[in-house]
A and B are shown apart, each in its own frame.
Chain A
Amino acid sequence: MNGWTGKVLRVNLTEGSVAIQDLDLETVSLVMGGRGLGVKILCDEIDPKANALEAHNKLIFATGPLTGTGAIASALCSVTTKSPLTGGIACASVLGNFGAELKFSGFDAIIIEGKSKFPVYLSIMDDKVRLLPALHLWGRTTTYTEKLIKAEMGDLWKAREMCIVSIGPAGEKIANIASLVHEDFMAFGGSGLGAVMGTKNLKAVAVRGTKGVKVAHGNRFLLNTSHLLKRIEKDPLISEKVRNLGTTFLVETLHQMGFLPSKNFQAAVFNGIKNVDSQALARSILCGHRSCLACPMACLKTTETKKPPFDGKGTGLDYNTIAMLGPNLGIDHLLAIAKAYYLCVQLGIDPISVGAAIATATELYEKGILSELDAGQSFRFGKSENLIPLINLIGEGNGFGCILGTGAFRIAKDYEHMESFMGAKGRELPPYDPRGIQGMGLHFATSNSGAYHLDGFTVIDEVLGIHGEPHPLETEGKAWKVKLFQDLTAVLNAMGICPLSLMCIWIDDMVTMVNDVLETHYEVDDILKIGERIWNLERLFNIKAGFTGADDTLSERLLSEPIPDGPAKGSILHLDKLLPEYYRLRGWNEQGIPTEEKLKDLGL
């Protein structure tokens, strides 16, 4: 079967049983695969109202038809589940080599259900699928877990080829902001998924395979991809910025435009920006570049800090981490930020969420709502010595770390000061000020998985200006653009391509790649329709889980207070203007619920 292996693995942790099913080709033609497949299975099999942290919830690792084929940035494996953070759908992207390895082992997807009585890990070595005891891995950091699992393999050369996704101690302690880690870097958007894996007592999934993926038109695929690669090499954004600095160049770009949040979105000017921007990074700690499978962008940066107590080494320090653990906490100490990131990876905590949680706690403390007695320590914006002990506390699940681990939303709720929480649907806002970047604002408000930027990364258009002059503050045409990006990203995730690849490829390239591999005759409109179908499916899941149109909003501060200072001073998010237009374009009614005819049109 072209692009697919045709088999789906179903693992029941309660019974400890494993079953192999055929891939449902009808579903695949409707929703492509990956994220689409995950959402479809969740909609069919679980009750959207059930608690995310119960055995009833399922965790679906799903690859797309292009995963592992060598198409541009085709490394993605979607992980879909009901999120403990938002209570709605959540979809993370595990990059690196995991998705491809899963394909090579002969499976397109893994459905994990139930709950094991004791810690286990799932080992897939081609057809040999086993659930193995993981008591010895429990409590270990993610890097150490990977090493121990590889050591168990026995054969050094086979162990080299193994790909492992694991949770750290934070996931075991069911911290809401725990994430998944693979090959020493975080899964994108994995906040909350570590907790789901933790409740299932599943420590890791290890895969190795020796089978291949079939491609329909090998010749054409080789040639088209070669042409595409040549074009990408000439792209100045990729060759000069992304390859050298990853996404960290956004630190100064967004700060110059006034969209970099500082001190929990209370300011947009950050004095220490020179100490944390990409130039500082390149000068001091950058030591290497790394790609996921078949990615021509190499946005993962390897960094090394040598000075104790911040010494360490890690991969994947990016814009979001620097901005959330740096300026958003008022910290201008790059070494401390890097060290905090390494710790997040070791403990399996999402760095965006942890930055937001500490920022919320700090704001509450500075306003005198959170007392030193409660928190066990004092908080101050700009206090870098606090950062590392706090992250350790979350990993251990001790003291105030236990509360921080529940996420910014629950901290603000506990202390009855919701204005200190920045985000949407209970999920923390990534560092793109929605009052400045209007499209991002609308996306954060309407996103199905809460405020998660990569599900509709309009920054590519609105800040980087890849398709013409950027106009972040204008509202004209933004609703349309957000819808386009959301649908595009949904279908990219479903194909198995990293959403950041939108920096160098566009819809027509995607259509060529998918047609070469699958021998289909998709047009641009068909692809976008698949994306829209996935988006609406997620929306329906969320509506059944209890969300309404009233949840399509952001935190109070982001709607009522304009940006206080900086180049974008005074700008506000025109959500009242954008939202009705967005609903109209989506074919939803005024309450944000998909209409009958829209669903019929999409075949749902």
Chain B
Amino acid sequence: MERIRIDYNKCTGCRRCEIACSLSHVLDTINPRKARIRVMKEGDQFFPVIAGPFTDAACNSKGILVLGGMVYDQCALCRASCPTKPTIFREPDTDIPLKCDFCMLLDQPGPSCVKWCTFGALTLVEE
């Protein structure tokens, strides 16, 4: 099965994948908020995250912190379009959850984000 492999160390945060994704799903509009891949920044490192389904198992690593009577969840950069992240991987107009559908860049095979990633952070691998 083909999968998208992410090499965080090669990502420079140009967000070209977000643009390619949004453009190949809505052909006349560029809107990274509608993209099924998002580049997150933590410190000086960029993390491309591809939208996936929300499962309980994904939340296993989540920790709860109570500071001064307030409850904080340490929800990190996961790929789920879940209710905790109200703005990530959700269509901004309709609030419908988004998920990577392994789109094609026009007639060329392969997901468009991989095609437009010039730094080799996203590659297609056979597993």
Contact = CB atoms under 8 A, between A and B. Distances in A.
B3 interface: no
Interface string B68-105: 00000000000000000111100010000000000001
Interface in A193-218: 209-216, 218
A266 interface: no
A212 B87 contact: no
Contacts of B16: 70, 294, 296
B44 A313 contact: yes
Contact of B92 (A100, A157, A210, A223): A210
A160 B31 contact: no
B4 interface: no
B112 A222 contact: yes
A158 interface: yes
Nearest to B27: A218
Interface of B: 12-16, 19-20, 22-24, 26-34, 40-41, 44-46, 85-88, 92, 105-106, 112, 115-116, 118-119
A6 to B, nearest CB: 14
A69 interface: yes
Contact of B30 (A69, A233, A295): A69
A97 B15 contact: yes
B14 A213 contact: no
A18 B99 CA distance: 38
A223 B28 CA distance: 14
A222 B28 contact: no
B97 to A, nearest CB: 14
Contacts of B32: 100, 104
Interface in A415-465: none
Given A222-B24, A294-B19, A212 B29 contact: yes
Contact of B20 (A70, A210, A291, A295): A70
Interface in A135-159: 155, 157-158
A298 B14 contact: yes
Given A155-B86, A298-B119, A215 B30 contact: yes
B87 A157 contact: yes
Contacts of A289: 12, 119
Contacts of B88: 157
A336 interface: no
A288 B27 CA distance: 33
Contacts of B12: 289-291, 298
A292 B105 CA distance: 23
A213 B13 contact: no
B14 A210 contact: no
Interface string A69-106: 11000000000000000000000000001001000100
Contacts of B26: 212
Interface residues of A, number: 44
Contacts of A296: 14, 16, 118
Given A294-B14, A294-B16, A216 B28 contact: yes
Interface centre among B13, B29, B92, B119 (most CB of A within 10 A): B13
Contacts of B20: 70, 222
Given A160-B40, A288-B44, A212 B30 contact: yes
A104 B31 contact: yes
A384 interface: no
A217 to B, nearest CB: 9
Contacts of A288: 44-45
Contacts of B19: 69-70, 294
Contacts of B30: 68-70, 212-215
Given A157-B86, A158-B87, A210-B92, A293 B15 contact: yes
A315 interface: yes
A233 B44 contact: no
A295 B119 CA distance: 10
B73 to A, nearest CB: 10
Contact of B27 (A219, A243, A290): A219
Contacts of A161: 33, 87
A209 B31 CA distance: 9
Contact of B15 (A158, A294, A313): A294
Contacts of A232: 118
A371 interface: no
Given A212-B29, A215-B29, A298-B119, A160 B15 contact: no
A302 interface: yes
Contact of B28 (A218, A294, A313): A218
Contacts of B22: 212
B119 A70 contact: no
- The 6 A-B pairs of least Cβ separation, nearest first, read A212-B31, A291-B14, A70-B19, A210-B92, A212-B29, A218-B27
Given A158-B87, A218-B23, A290 B28 contact: no
Given A222-B112, A291-B12, A292-B14, 13 more contacts: A97-B15, A104-B33, A155-B87, A212-B26, A213-B31, A216-B28, A222-B23, A229-B118, A289-B119, A293-B15, A294-B15, A298-B14, A313-B44
A243 B46 CA distance: 16
26 contacts: A68-B30, A70-B16, A70-B116, A97-B15, A157-B86, A161-B33, A212-B22, A212-B29, A213-B29, A213-B31, A214-B28, A216-B28, A222-B24, A222-B105, A222-B106, A225-B116, A226-B105, A226-B115, A229-B116, A287-B44, A289-B119, A290-B12, A290-B46, A291-B119, A296-B14, A313-B44
B68 to A, nearest CB: 15
A160 B41 contact: yes
Interface string A262-297: 000000000000000000000000011111111110
Contacts of B87: 155, 157-158, 161, 210
B127 to A, nearest CB: 25
Nearest to A298: B12
A212 B115 CA distance: 22
A316 to B, nearest CB: 12
B113 to A, nearest CB: 12
Contacts of B45: 288
Nearest to B87: A157
Nearest to A230: B118
B91 to A, nearest CB: 10
A214 B26 CA distance: 10
Nearest to B88: A157
Contacts of A216: 28
